[in-house]
Amino acid sequence: MLNITYRFGTGKDLDLLAQWNHQLIQDEGHRNSLSLSQLRDRMKAWLQGEYKAVIFESDQIPIAYALYREGPDEIYLRHLFVNRGNRRKGIGHRCVDILRLKLWPTYKRLTVESLVKNGAVSQFWHSAGFTDYSLTLEIMPEIMNIQGSNVDAILKNHS
């Protein structure tokens, strides 16, 4: 079993955090199209603002990170990422345990968002103790543009 330590991320970690954020976006199938440079700038702004990054390490080698913000009554976990070579080893659960037992107050509500189409990630969050709270539904703009359709006829048929 890996010995996992943690430390708070700093400006020196921005390149690593941006790279991992890019991999997280790819792995999730998220539509975010920011470049590495843009992700780095965004991460920098987050860390200079209300977010904190936690870097998890094994033998002083970074293996995962979490990005969260703490409010008066809630902690919002924006990112949890385990690098690709260390997945399916229980590291994600250990990171959540460290956050919950060592860094976060126990009296605050914890929230995280997960893309619905990413069933494996939802299963992970459920196994870590999170329960479903809400579901965001959408219609993408491309779907609304029905080419060659008579909008009045469509609306009349649905009345």
pLDDT of residue 28: 75
| Secondary structure class of 80 (helix, strand, coil) | strand
What confidence tens digit (pLDDT) does each residue in 77-111 have?
Answer: 999 999 988 888 999 999 999 999 999 999 999 99
pTM assigned to the model: 0.81
Arithmetic mean of pLDDT over the chain: 87
Higher model confidence: residue 16 or residue 145?
A: 16
The rounded percent of the chain whose pLDDT value lies above 70 is 85
d(CA 74, CA 90): 25
What is the topology classification, in CATH, of domain 4-134?
Aminopeptidase (3.40.630)
**What three-state secondary structure class fits 156?**
helix
β-sheet bridge partners, residue 66:
54, 80
- The per-residue pLDDT for range 52-70, each reduced to its tens digit, is 999 999 999 999 999 999 9
Q: Which two tokens stand for residue 66?
A: 């979490």
DSSP 30-60: ------HHHHHHHHHHHHHTTEEEEEEEETT
Q: Token pair of 57, please?
A: 């390490």
Listed by start position, the domains of the chain span 4-134
pLDDT at 83: 94
